[in-house]
Amino acid sequence: MLSRWPPLNPSHIFALHEIKADPTLVPKERGAYGWWFDTSPPGVPIEKAQKLKGFHLLYVGIAPSAPTSKRTLRDRLKNHCRGPIAVSTLRRSLAVLLDGKLQLKVRRQPSGKLYIDQDAEARLTAWMDQHARVCWAITPEPWKLEHHLISTGPFLPLDIKGALHPFVSELRRRRSSVKGVQG
């Protein structure tokens, strides 16, 4: 039953600084994870999001995304915890949503990827450390779980791939509206 699945009902959620201080907290195994926030980025609807001790579950992810990949939870959460935004869907969405508030100046590279400079990455990481927490569960075939969680599980406004909630179109629009580098 999904309601008992640890990222949806965690006994402990970790701050970025905890993971940075001891990366071995995160298993070097396959699994799924959930990101919980005590405040949401501007405009993100949280009324229907799952709530736990003042935090709302806004995003879930997996590692690896395919059976042939060797990526682990530790690998994936490193990307989310420190960036750059080019390697983290969660960070890209947060950067676009927090651009004005944190003055991140999100831009699009000629390759099409979104980026922010190192100082902006540091501000985004600091915001996440203050407001986001993460938990995880080991599971041998996480790619079988992600679609089910996003399409039929709790309301996850920061998830895009497979999401059916109304906010997904706004999030996609905001991400696609980022302009390229001015020469």
Structural domain boundaries of the chain?
Answer: 2-170
d(CA 134, CA 81): 10
| Tens digits of residue pLDDT in 83-105 | 899 999 999 999 999 999 999 99
Count CA within 13 A, CB hemisphere, residue 61. Answer: 24
Q: Is the pLDDT of residue 118 over 90?
A: yes
DSSP strand E in the chain: where?
Answer: 31-37, 51-52, 55-63, 107-108, 114-115, 132-138
Pair 57, 67: CB distance under 8 Å? no
Band (181; pLDDT cuts 50, 70, 90): low
The predicted structure's pLDDT at residue 4: 58
The predicted structure's pLDDT at residue 24: 95
Band (47; pLDDT cuts 50, 70, 90): very high
Q: Is the pLDDT of residue 182 over 70?
A: no
Q: Is 35 exposed, middle or buried (0-12, 13-18, 19+ CB in 10 A)?
A: buried
Bridge partners of residue 33, in order along the sequence: 61, 136
**Cis peptide bond upstream of 157, omega within 30:** no
| Amino acid sitting at position 61 | G
Band (183; pLDDT cuts 50, 70, 90): very low
Band (154; pLDDT cuts 50, 70, 90): confident
The predicted structure's pLDDT at residue 5: 64
CA distances from 6 to 126, 141, 172 (A): 26, 15, 28
The predicted structure's pLDDT at residue 7: 67
Band (31; pLDDT cuts 50, 70, 90): very high
